[in-house]
């Protein structure tokens, strides 16, 4: 093939007089013939007709860092742990999807924190994310997301705040500050991840509840389904939100057209929100949601429906709809993610993603482009959350009936 390419380019060259034109003709075949570096995942895609809209948008070259990741269990027997928050000093708060909040010491001693809200733990619901307020050291305020029973079999993602008692044994003054609307009778696609911006407002990512009737509401800005919202600490729409003056929109909405966003992180240099969402079969997406941006679901997607057919018209791009920075097919099933800032691993500024498909996914970035990918810690289980500890080691939880909180260090 390469030889034929050169021959045909050469033949064309002879017929051309201009040197500039010749250079163009030469460049084209040599680029096309360049061998593609192998990606981290070489399995065929589910959506066979998908063509990336942007260069480097999927299957980045495998970036082998040569690091062996060692895992040490801190606590085991956890009931589908969902999220970890690191307390100042020492100790970790860990949510269990089934409805408990645990305080776990670095040595693995655990105690239950009482006073959590009642959750609807059917399907994917339950107690989900946990985040300390930026001024936790002074206020002891924490934020929790959970699937809240809303009556008549319906539920929805809600955000509560509370104070953690000084002895860490209970939540005090718990108050629900935001409710995703409308509520729905669905056990699926709740989101949800809390991130704080530099101004002290919080982003909350929300799912579209999965059903055919709710999926389309990702495109309806008068609902909170399939949205990222941006809130004040008391749950009001944050100043500067894009639809504050739009009578047909929920004022909390920051971005729309999302599917099920369970992970988010603030970029340490730019301060921008990055999110990661589950696609259907194929089409997990990394996005950098801008104010008012529409991220396309379910009109455009790089995935297919679970039974095998197309989603909607089966298209991957449309004018006015934002493209993901990067996508996966087959999926990694992303939980939460974090930008690595430490020096214990040689991964400074890389994006580390908890993969429920059973890997820690590392992305090397150049600005806002993904330039390399590696799959690590493949023998641990369904990784739901990843968090950097003070010493640069990583904390993970595995979303299993006998889940673990574990520390990852270089082997
Ligand atoms: Ca996060
Ligand atoms: Ca999208």
Q: Which listed ligand is nearest to 218 at the C-alpha?
A: 2
Report the separation in Å between the CA atom of 166 and the middle of ligand 1, taken as the mean of its atom positions. Answer: 25
Q: Crossing angle of helices 2-14/19-33, nearest 10°?
A: 170
For residues 332 and 358, the answer to whether their CB atoms sit within 8 Å is no
Over residues 353-372, mean pLDDT: 98
Q: Which listed ligand is nearest to 284 at the C-alpha?
A: 2
pLDDT in the model for residue 35: 55
Backbone torsions φ then ψ of 210, nearest 5 degrees: 80, -30
List the domains of the chain with CATH numbers. Answer: 1-36 (no CATH), 67-410 (2.120.10.30)
Instruction: Give the full edge-to-edge strand order of the sheet including 141-151.
Output: 127-132, 141-151, 154-164, 171-179
Confidence class of residue 7 from pLDDT cuts 50, 70 and 90? very low
pLDDT in tens, 73-114: 999 999 999 999 999 988 999 999 999 999 999 999 999 999
Q: Where are the alpha helices (DSSP H) in 249-338?
A: none
- Kindly report the length of the chain: 411
Pairwise CA distance, residues 297 & 311, whole Å: 9
Contacts of 308 (CB under 8 A, 6+ apart): 281
Radius of gyration of the chain (CA): 23
pLDDT at 1 over 50: no
Report the separation in Å between the CA atom of 147 and the middle of ligand 2, taken as the mean of its atom positions. Answer: 24
Looking at per-residue pLDDT, the higher value among 371 and 18 belongs to 371
Report the separation in Å between the CA atom of 30 and the middle of ligand 2, taken as the mean of its atom positions. Answer: 33
pLDDT in tens, 134-190: 999 999 999 999 999 999 999 999 999 999 999 999 999 999 999 999 999 999 999
Average per-residue pLDDT in the chain? 92
pLDDT in the model for residue 37: 86
H-helix or E-strand spanning residue 398: strand 394-398
pLDDT at 17 over 70: no
Over residues 213-232, mean pLDDT: 98
pLDDT in the model for residue 78: 98
Backbone torsions φ then ψ of 31, nearest 5 degrees: -65, -45
Report the separation in Å between the CA atom of 141 and the middle of ligand 1, taken as the mean of its atom positions. Answer: 17
pLDDT in the model for residue 90: 85
pLDDT in the model for residue 29: 38
Over residues 231-245, mean pLDDT: 98
Pairwise CA distance, residues 334 & 353, whole Å: 7
Q: Which of 10, 58, 19 is nearest to 303 (CA)?
A: 58
Report the separation in Å between the CA atom of 257 and the middle of ligand 2, taken as the mean of its atom positions. Answer: 7
Backbone torsions φ then ψ of 266, nearest 5 degrees: -95, 130
Q: Which of 371, 370, 397 is nearest to 382 (CA)?
A: 397
pLDDT in tens, 109-133: 999 999 999 999 999 999 999 999 9
For residues 100 and 130, the answer to whether their CB atoms sit within 8 Å is no
User: For 14-105, where are the E strands, in sequence order?
Assistant: 69-78, 81-86, 92-96, 101-104
List residues, by chain if needed, whose CB lies under 5 Å from ion ligand 1: 193, 264, 336
pLDDT in the model for residue 15: 37
269 alpha carbon, distance to own chain's centre:
19
Query: What proportion of the chain, given as a percentage, has pLDDT over 70?
Result: 91
Report the separation in Å between the CA atom of 264 and the middle of ligand 1, taken as the mean of its atom positions. Answer: 4
Pairwise CA distance, residues 170 & 200, whole Å: 25
pLDDT in the model for residue 70: 98
Q: Which listed ligand is nearest to 193 at the C-alpha?
A: 1
Backbone torsions φ then ψ of 8, nearest 5 degrees: -70, -35
List, by residue number, the catalytic residues: 189
pLDDT in the model for residue 72: 98
pLDDT at 51 over 90: yes
Over residues 249-253, mean pLDDT: 98
Number of H helices, E strands in the chain: 4, 24
Residue linked to tokens 């679901």 = 297
pLDDT at 33 over 50: no
Residue linked to tokens 């690595």 = 340
Residue linked to tokens 């708060």 = 93
Over residues 239-261, mean pLDDT: 98
Q: Which listed ligand is nearest to 257 at the C-alpha?
A: 2
Report the separation in Å between the CA atom of 124 and the middle of ligand 2, taken as the mean of its atom positions. Answer: 21
Pairwise CA distance, residues 204 & 261, whole Å: 9
Confidence class of residue 11 from pLDDT cuts 50, 70 and 90? very low
């Amino acid at each position: 093939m390469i030889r034929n390419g050169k021959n045909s380019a050469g033949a064309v060259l002879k017929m051309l007089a201009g040197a500039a034109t010749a250079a163009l003709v030469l460049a084209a075949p040599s680029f096309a013939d360049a061998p593609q570096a192998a990606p981290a995942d070489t399995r065929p895609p589910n959506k066979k007709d998908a063509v990336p809209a942007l260069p480097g948008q999927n299957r980045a070259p495998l970036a082998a860092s040569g690091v062996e990741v060692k895992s040490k269990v801190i606590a085991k027997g956890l009931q589908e742990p969902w999220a970890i928050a690191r307390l100042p000093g020492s100790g970790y708060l860990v949510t269990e999807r089934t409805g408990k909040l645990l305080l776990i010491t670095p040595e693995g001693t655990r105690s239950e924190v009482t006073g959590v809200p009642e959750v609807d733990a059917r399907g994917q619901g339950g107690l989900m994310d946990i985040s300390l307020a930026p001024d936790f050291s002074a206020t002891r305020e924490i934020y929790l997301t959970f699937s809240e029973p809303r009556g008549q079999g319906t539920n929805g993602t809600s955000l509560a705040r509370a104070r953690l008692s000084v002895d860490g044994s209970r939540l005090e003054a718990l108050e629900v500050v935001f409710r995703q609307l409308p509520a729905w009778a669905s056990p699926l696609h709740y989101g949800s991840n809390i991130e704080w911006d530099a101004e002290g407002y919080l982003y909350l990512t929300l799912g579209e509840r999965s059903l055919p009737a709710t999926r389309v509401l990702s495109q309806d800005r008068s609902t909170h389904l399939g949205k990222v919202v941006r809130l004040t600490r008391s749950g009001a729409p944050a100043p500067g939100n894009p639809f504050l003056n739009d009578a047909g929109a929920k004022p909390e909405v920051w971005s729309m057209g999302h599917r099920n966003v369970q992970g988010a992180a603030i970029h340490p240099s730019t301060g921008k929100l990055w999110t990661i969402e589950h696609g259907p079969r194929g089409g997990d997406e990394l996005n950098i949601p801008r104010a008012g941006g529409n991220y396309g679901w379910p009109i455009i997607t790089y995935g297919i429906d679970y039974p095998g057919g197309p989603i909607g018209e089966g298209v991957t791009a449309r004018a006015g709809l934002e493209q993901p920075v990067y996508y996966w097919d087959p999926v990694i099933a992303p939980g939460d993610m974090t930008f690595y800032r430490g020096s214990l691993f040689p991964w400074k500024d890389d994006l580390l993603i908890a993969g429920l498909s059973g890997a820690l996914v590392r992305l090397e970035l150049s600005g806002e482009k993904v330039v390399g990918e590696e799959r690590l810690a493949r023998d641990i289980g369904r990784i739901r959350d990843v968090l950097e500890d003070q010493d640069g080691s990583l904390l993970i939880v595995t979303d299993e009936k006998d889940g673990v909180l574990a520390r990852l260090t270089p082997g």
